[in-house]
Structure 1
């Protein structure tokens, strides 16, 4: 129901506004010739030409330009909040860029707003803000997976290892580049086929279609790409720049279960009877840096990237320990066992890296997989991976009934029990006691002859029975 008082108040306001409108002297309507021929008098800084067709429309003429303007009066609050009549002026546009009839239409619209008690300046500002928001949203809607992916990688980089970062680069790479090693061109990553897909178009159906295309060709890589994509979409949802564009459930557990083959857990590990042929093949390998890397990887049970990033400053021959930056950038100290110390002491010191390389981009080994496969082929040992060496260290240590907590700490595993996590902090010398036993037993089973002493490392290498 309409309030009579409101009607009266609005009517009074309308009448008052019209009474306050500027009174312009009668003059002809604006025409193009009138505007074109108008000149600024020498003693004037500006003059105005007014239009009789559109109330408030005028042309402001200065020494440098002719501009369409709208001028009117309305009640506006002063600094104390009291409504007072005030004159305002709005620029419509230059006479050389705005048509006269368009300027009239704009002036009539502004006049209608004034009649309703609306400030055209505020209305125009709100319109501009809404248009800017709409443009920004349209631009946001067009963001593709490939455009947001580098931003995601760069912001998450401090929390990732070098290998994990490079895996994200490779998984979405379009391919077609010359291989750094070997001949031929690189292959496109599993996510390359949907890199141009807008985030706003990511749906469960689009992910299913992508999986159907990629899964038959490379199931393991596709599974890894799916996991990375799911983490990426969760990050997008939490970031205000991409929030609400792609539903995180597009990579739900159900889609994974229904569209990806089940991952088979690897159980590759060296057997006790394989140790002799394994060591014989690895120690004969031509590249002694690669040979030492593979042996050390096995004898300390480390992750491959932990060892590749080892620097000479991390090796302490005096106090017989090695400082390793583990998974999640968590550091840990390991014993420097006698045989490993002998291996490291013979390596060339070309640069800061322990496992240096003259061909590596960073001056160190990058991908020892092919060399390791060649070693295994010569030893005629099948299905052993570099990560399988880590599993081998853990498995073979049970022959000596080594406490599992000792093995976990050496390998950098998370403690599996409250007591291990909060109450047992083993020093390096206690780890060394067991680690030397494990190394000596492995070398004995392999039939590796150990020298009696090493002057440079300060260790006396003996065979423990």
Structure 2
């Protein structure tokens, strides 16, 4: 664009004024890594090594970033380029636009640390204003659950059926369940061991009687260690989102995402009067603030407790008639 050309012209002029040699700079630029090469390094040296969600990074890189800038030099991507991409994605997917910018910010931070960029080079994501986000507040209601149950039963794959029920019974995260192996299931103790969780520590999931009964009926495949085997030999079930989309459409719950099943567990536990501390432990939350979203579901339970408390006060005080609480008003009527 004209604006980008002007920015690059200003940068060239500034380099000349600083005593730099444009010809020398062009030679160095010819040896510079492309953005696609930087992405490869980011995935291999950082994402796959340190992030459980590296596949999300890989998907965004291949879908959003490589097609746009793959052959460009690493230093040839400017804030205006990133801002335009963020705007384009955000027209339809504002949350995805934010995640893409955050990923790009991490990629360039690593580029600086690894020497792909000059020491004082600006991160092209600097100054990008992210779209406002609101925490999702969606879970399955009691009215929706029978329709969901009927929609689950309509699925042909027994492992898909088992997966959705287990998400509802346990509240575990999508990847945690898909990666679960029979070696980590102890039906006698009623326990599922998750060695690789988002919190970075092993988590032991207590299995309810319905979960135990369901797991005892899930067919096991010889040579496949996974609780939910996929079509490929010795591999787990993948792409559970597609069957969930079919299920939610049949159940007329089009806006319910797979992760909302986890929220359903937390919400239903809160509405049953369970403490936030207990819910946090069940869902393996690292921060108590994450669990606080369920606090409002406990309001009925709090009201019932205060109703009992108030009645106890009245009984102890010998006040069975509410008019006795404000006798002056009662006498004036």
Pair in the same fold by TM > 0.5: yes
2:219 is aligned with 1:344: no
Matched, 1:396 2:287: no
Q: What secondary structure, in the 3-state scheme, does the structure 2 residue paired with 1:329 have?
A: coil
Deviation digits for residues 249-284 of structure 1 (CA, Å, limit 9, x no counterpart): x212x4124xxx433432221112222222232234
Q: How much does 1:213 deviate?
A: 4.4
Partner deviation per Cα, 1:139-185 (whole Å, 9 max, x = no partner): 68621221111111111222211xx2222222222xxxxxxxxxxxx
Query: How big is each residue's C-alpha offset from its partner over 1:330-384, in whole Å with a ceiling of 9 and x where there is no partner?
Result: 21001122111111111222210111012x4762111111211111222222311
Instruction: Please point out which of 154, 163, 169 is paired with 1:293.
Output: 163
Residues 1:170 and 2:59 are matched in the alignment: yes
With over 3 angstroms needed to count, the CA separation of the structure-2 counterparts of 1:326 and 1:274, relative to structure 1, is same
Q: 2: distance between equivalents of 1:140 and 1:241?
A: 13
Change (3 A) 1:275 1:247: same
Q: Which residue of 2 aligns with 1:194?
A: 69
Q: 1:359-417: CA deviations, max 9, x gaps?
A: x4762111111211111222222311100111111111112211111111111111428
- The alpha-carbon deviation at position 222 of structure 1 amounts to 2.7
Distance 1:216 1:223, change over 3 A: same
Q: Name the structure 2 match of 1:221.
A: 96
Q: C-alpha separation between the residues in 2 aligned to 1:166 and 1:361?
A: 21
**From 157, 169, 189, the counterpart of 1:319:** 189
Contact preservation (8 Å) 1:172, 1:195? no
Which residue is equivalent to 1:129? none
Q: Is the 8 A contact 1:303 1:387 kept in 2?
A: yes
Separation in structure 2 between the aligned mates of residue 398 and residue 265 of structure 1, nearest angstrom: 17
Work out the CA distance in 2 between the residues paired with 1:144 and 1:328. 34
Identify, as 1 or 2, the structure richer in helix.
2
Which of residues 50, 53, 66 in structure 2 aligns to 1:159?
A: 50
1:245 shift after superposition: 7.3
Residue 270 of structure 2 contacts residue 279 of structure 2 at CA under 8 Å; is this kept in 1?
no
Task: Spell out the pairing of 1:274-423 with structure 2 (5 A cutoff).
Answer: 274-324=144-194, 325-350=196-221, 351-358=224-231, 360=232, 363-416=235-288
CA contact (8 A) 1:203 1:246 kept: no
Q: Which runs of 5+ in 2 are unaligned?
A: 1-23, 292-333
SS in 2 for 1:189: helix
Residue-pair matches, total: 263
- In structure 1, list runs of 5 or more residues that go unmatched: 1-133, 174-187, 421-465
Q: Does residue 122 of structure 2 align to residue 233 of structure 1?
A: no
Deviation at 1:231, TM superposition (A): 1.2
When structure 1 is superposed on structure 2, of 196-205 and 285-294 the one drifting more is 196-205
| TM-score, scaled relative to structure 2 | 0.71
Superposed CA RMSD? 2.7
Provide the C-alpha distance between the structure 2 equivalents of 1:242 and 1:312, rounded to a whole number of angstroms: 47
The structure with the largest alpha-carbon Rg is 1
Q: Name the TM-score, length of structure 1 as normaliser.
A: 0.52
Q: Could you say if the C-alpha distance between residues 225 and 141 of structure 1 is closer, same or farther in structure 2, counting changes exceeding 3 Å?
A: farther
Instruction: Work out the CA distance in 1 between the residues paired with 2:82 and 2:182.
Output: 46
Structure 1 residue 286, shift from structure 2 partner: 2.0
CA distance in 2, matches of 1:394, 1:212: 34
Q: CA deviation at 1:296?
A: 0.6
Following the alignment from structure 2 to structure 1, what is the Cα–Cα distance between the partners of residues 78 and 64? 20
CA contact (8 A) 2:199 2:286 kept: no
Distance 1:394 1:217, change over 3 A: closer
Of residues 238, 257, 272, the one that matches 2:142 is: 272
Change in CA separation of 1:148 and 1:246 when aligned onto 2, cut-off 3 Å: farther
Superposition misfits of 4+ residues, deviation over 6 angstroms: none
What secondary structure, in the 3-state scheme, does the structure 2 residue paired with 1:196 have?
Answer: coil
The 1-side partners of 2:182 and 2:139 are apart by 29
CA distance in structure 2 between the partners assigned to 1:342 and 1:404 by the alignment: 27
